[in-house]
Amino acid sequence: MKHEIVEKNVGLMALLMVLAVSIGGLTQIVPLFFQDVVNEPVAGMQPYTALQLEGRDVYIKEGCVGCHSQMIRPFRAETERYGHYSVAGESVWDHPFLWGSKRTGPDLARVGSRYSDEWHRAHLYNPRNVVPESKMPAYPWLVENTLDGKDTAAKLKAMRLLGVPYSDEDIAGAAAAVKGKTEMDALVAYLQVLGTALKNKR
Protein backbone atom coordinates (compact mmCIF):
# COMPACT_ATOMS: atom_id res chain seq x y z
CA MET A 1 0.00 0.00 0.00
CA LYS A 2 1.37 3.38 -0.98
CA HIS A 3 1.85 5.85 1.82
CA GLU A 4 0.02 8.58 -0.10
CA ILE A 5 -3.23 6.59 -0.01
CA VAL A 6 -3.11 6.44 3.80
CA GLU A 7 -2.18 10.12 4.19
CA LYS A 8 -4.98 11.36 1.93
CA ASN A 9 -7.72 9.14 3.39
CA VAL A 10 -8.45 10.32 6.94
CA GLY A 11 -10.83 7.43 7.69
CA LEU A 12 -8.28 4.81 6.63
CA MET A 13 -5.54 6.56 8.59
CA ALA A 14 -7.71 6.64 11.74
CA LEU A 15 -8.56 2.95 11.32
CA LEU A 16 -4.90 1.97 10.94
CA MET A 17 -3.95 4.10 13.96
CA VAL A 18 -6.59 2.40 16.12
CA LEU A 19 -5.40 -1.00 14.87
CA ALA A 20 -1.75 -0.21 15.68
CA VAL A 21 -2.55 1.09 19.17
CA SER A 22 -4.82 -1.90 19.87
CA ILE A 23 -2.15 -4.41 18.88
CA GLY A 24 0.47 -2.60 20.96
CA GLY A 25 -1.83 -2.42 23.98
CA LEU A 26 -2.85 -6.06 23.74
CA THR A 27 0.74 -7.28 23.54
CA GLN A 28 1.58 -5.38 26.74
CA ILE A 29 -1.56 -5.96 28.81
CA VAL A 30 -2.92 -9.42 27.95
CA PRO A 31 0.17 -11.41 29.05
CA LEU A 32 -0.13 -9.91 32.55
CA PHE A 33 -3.47 -11.67 33.06
CA PHE A 34 -1.73 -15.02 32.70
CA GLN A 35 1.13 -14.35 35.11
CA ASP A 36 0.32 -15.46 38.66
CA VAL A 37 2.92 -13.10 40.08
CA VAL A 38 0.73 -10.08 39.23
CA ASN A 39 -2.61 -11.68 40.14
CA GLU A 40 -1.77 -13.34 43.45
CA PRO A 41 -1.43 -11.47 46.74
CA VAL A 42 1.90 -11.69 48.54
CA ALA A 43 2.18 -14.41 51.18
CA GLY A 44 0.63 -13.43 54.48
CA MET A 45 -1.28 -10.46 53.14
CA GLN A 46 -4.65 -9.79 54.77
CA PRO A 47 -7.51 -7.68 53.39
CA TYR A 48 -7.98 -4.28 55.01
CA THR A 49 -10.10 -4.30 58.15
CA ALA A 50 -13.27 -2.20 58.07
CA LEU A 51 -11.48 0.63 59.91
CA GLN A 52 -8.46 0.47 57.58
CA LEU A 53 -10.72 0.53 54.53
CA GLU A 54 -12.49 3.62 55.89
CA GLY A 55 -9.04 5.13 56.47
CA ARG A 56 -8.13 4.43 52.87
CA ASP A 57 -11.23 6.34 51.80
CA VAL A 58 -10.18 9.26 54.03
CA TYR A 59 -6.72 9.11 52.38
CA ILE A 60 -8.38 9.40 48.97
CA LYS A 61 -10.90 12.06 50.07
CA GLU A 62 -8.24 14.33 51.56
CA GLY A 63 -6.08 14.09 48.43
CA CYS A 64 -3.07 12.45 50.08
CA VAL A 65 -2.33 10.54 46.86
CA GLY A 66 -1.62 13.88 45.16
CA CYS A 67 1.56 14.36 47.19
CA HIS A 68 2.50 10.85 48.36
CA SER A 69 3.24 7.83 46.21
CA GLN A 70 2.82 4.24 47.37
CA MET A 71 5.26 2.63 44.99
CA ILE A 72 8.93 2.15 45.72
CA ARG A 73 10.89 1.80 42.51
CA PRO A 74 13.66 -0.82 42.26
CA PHE A 75 16.50 1.70 42.54
CA ARG A 76 19.17 1.54 45.21
CA ALA A 77 18.49 5.06 46.49
CA GLU A 78 14.82 4.23 47.01
CA THR A 79 15.25 0.79 48.55
CA GLU A 80 17.86 2.11 51.00
CA ARG A 81 15.51 4.89 52.09
CA TYR A 82 12.13 3.16 52.04
CA GLY A 83 12.78 -0.59 52.07
CA HIS A 84 11.97 -3.39 49.63
CA TYR A 85 10.69 -2.21 46.26
CA SER A 86 6.96 -2.53 45.67
CA VAL A 87 5.68 -5.74 44.11
CA ALA A 88 2.45 -6.30 42.19
CA GLY A 89 1.09 -8.74 44.77
CA GLU A 90 0.81 -5.94 47.33
CA SER A 91 -1.72 -4.04 45.23
CA VAL A 92 -3.99 -6.80 43.91
CA TRP A 93 -6.76 -5.87 46.37
CA ASP A 94 -6.38 -2.08 45.98
CA HIS A 95 -9.30 -0.68 44.02
CA PRO A 96 -8.33 1.90 42.86
CA PHE A 97 -4.58 1.52 43.31
CA LEU A 98 -2.86 4.49 44.96
CA TRP A 99 0.61 4.32 43.46
CA GLY A 100 0.61 8.06 42.77
CA SER A 101 2.46 9.92 40.07
CA LYS A 102 4.59 12.41 42.02
CA ARG A 103 6.14 12.92 45.42
CA THR A 104 5.91 16.20 47.25
CA GLY A 105 6.11 14.21 50.47
CA PRO A 106 7.82 10.86 51.05
CA ASP A 107 6.64 7.54 49.65
CA LEU A 108 4.27 5.78 52.06
CA ALA A 109 4.40 2.23 50.70
CA ARG A 110 6.36 1.01 53.77
CA VAL A 111 5.25 3.53 56.40
CA GLY A 112 3.30 0.89 58.38
CA SER A 113 4.74 0.35 61.88
CA ARG A 114 7.59 2.78 61.20
CA TYR A 115 6.11 5.42 63.53
CA SER A 116 3.79 5.18 66.52
CA ASP A 117 0.07 5.95 66.35
CA GLU A 118 0.70 9.04 68.49
CA TRP A 119 3.32 10.30 66.03
CA HIS A 120 0.86 9.94 63.13
CA ARG A 121 -1.89 11.70 65.09
CA ALA A 122 0.38 14.63 65.95
CA HIS A 123 1.70 14.78 62.40
CA LEU A 124 -1.75 14.75 60.80
CA TYR A 125 -3.12 17.29 63.29
CA ASN A 126 -0.28 19.75 62.58
CA PRO A 127 2.75 18.44 60.66
CA ARG A 128 4.98 21.33 61.77
CA ASN A 129 4.71 20.19 65.39
CA VAL A 130 6.64 17.07 64.38
CA VAL A 131 8.61 18.14 61.29
CA PRO A 132 9.17 21.94 61.42
CA GLU A 133 10.08 22.24 57.71
CA SER A 134 7.06 20.23 56.50
CA LYS A 135 4.99 21.59 53.62
CA MET A 136 2.11 19.23 54.38
CA PRO A 137 -1.20 20.89 55.31
CA ALA A 138 -2.75 20.26 58.71
CA TYR A 139 -5.86 18.08 59.04
CA PRO A 140 -7.30 19.00 62.48
CA TRP A 141 -10.89 18.21 61.43
CA LEU A 142 -10.07 14.50 61.21
CA VAL A 143 -10.24 14.38 65.02
CA GLU A 144 -13.77 15.82 64.99
CA ASN A 145 -15.26 13.87 62.07
CA THR A 146 -16.82 10.68 63.40
CA LEU A 147 -17.50 7.67 61.18
CA ASP A 148 -21.13 6.58 61.16
CA GLY A 149 -20.49 3.19 59.53
CA LYS A 150 -23.67 3.31 57.44
CA ASP A 151 -21.83 2.57 54.19
CA THR A 152 -18.99 0.44 55.54
CA ALA A 153 -20.67 -2.93 54.93
CA ALA A 154 -21.58 -1.85 51.38
CA LYS A 155 -17.93 -0.90 50.77
CA LEU A 156 -16.77 -4.35 51.88
CA LYS A 157 -19.40 -5.98 49.65
CA ALA A 158 -18.20 -3.91 46.68
CA MET A 159 -14.62 -4.93 47.37
CA ARG A 160 -15.67 -8.58 47.58
CA LEU A 161 -17.23 -8.26 44.12
CA LEU A 162 -13.82 -7.04 42.92
CA GLY A 163 -12.09 -10.13 44.33
CA VAL A 164 -11.09 -9.11 47.86
CA PRO A 165 -11.71 -12.13 50.14
CA TYR A 166 -14.08 -10.62 52.71
CA SER A 167 -16.26 -13.10 54.58
CA ASP A 168 -19.92 -12.68 55.48
CA GLU A 169 -18.79 -12.16 59.08
CA ASP A 170 -16.45 -9.33 58.04
CA ILE A 171 -19.30 -7.61 56.24
CA ALA A 172 -21.83 -8.18 59.04
CA GLY A 173 -19.48 -6.70 61.65
CA ALA A 174 -18.24 -3.79 59.55
CA ALA A 175 -20.52 -1.08 60.96
CA ALA A 176 -19.81 -2.09 64.56
CA ALA A 177 -16.05 -2.14 63.87
CA VAL A 178 -16.01 1.56 62.97
CA LYS A 179 -18.71 2.82 65.32
CA GLY A 180 -17.53 5.76 67.41
CA LYS A 181 -14.19 5.97 65.58
CA THR A 182 -12.97 9.21 64.03
CA GLU A 183 -11.52 9.79 60.58
CA MET A 184 -8.18 10.28 62.36
CA ASP A 185 -8.44 6.79 63.89
CA ALA A 186 -9.27 5.33 60.49
CA LEU A 187 -6.47 7.11 58.62
CA VAL A 188 -3.88 6.13 61.23
CA ALA A 189 -5.06 2.50 61.06
CA TYR A 190 -4.67 2.59 57.27
CA LEU A 191 -1.20 4.14 57.39
CA GLN A 192 -0.06 1.60 59.98
CA VAL A 193 -0.85 -1.34 57.69
CA LEU A 194 0.89 -0.02 54.56
CA GLY A 195 3.73 -2.29 53.47
CA THR A 196 3.61 -4.57 56.49
CA ALA A 197 3.23 -7.72 54.36
CA LEU A 198 6.85 -7.25 53.21
CA LYS A 199 8.15 -5.25 56.16
CA ASN A 200 11.11 -7.53 56.92
CA LYS A 201 12.40 -7.68 53.35
CA ARG A 202 15.13 -5.33 52.17
Quick one: pLDDT at residue 197? 84
Residue 27: enclosing H or E segment and its boundaries? Answer: helix 10-29
List the domain range (segments joined by +) for residue 111: 41-193
Phi-psi region of 113 (alpha: psi -120 to 50; beta: other; left: phi over 0): left
- CA dist 128 → 77, 106, 122, 125, 133 (Å): 26, 15, 9, 9, 7
One domain for residues 27 and 94: no
- In a domain, residue 201? The reply is no
Chain mean pLDDT for the chain:
91
One domain for residues 17 and 110: no
- The CATH number of residue 69's host domain is 1.10.760.10
Distance CA 98, CA 70 (A): 6
* Chain segment 69-109, per-residue pLDDT in tens: 999 999 999 999 988 899 888 988 999 999 988 899 999 99
* Chain segment 166-189, per-residue pLDDT in tens: 999 999 999 999 999 999 999 999
- In a domain, residue 15? The reply is yes
Do the Cβ atoms of 174 and 36 come closer than 8 Å? no
Quick one: pLDDT at residue 38? 63
Quick one: pLDDT at residue 4? 84
One domain for residues 96 and 184: yes
Distance CA 184, CA 102 (A): 24
* Chain segment 132-142, per-residue pLDDT in tens: 999 999 999 99
Q: What amino acid is encoded at 181 in this protein?
A: K
Mean pLDDT of 109-138: 95
Question: How much is the pTM?
Answer: 0.82
Quick one: pLDDT at residue 46? 93
* Chain segment 105-114, per-residue pLDDT in tens: 999 999 998 9
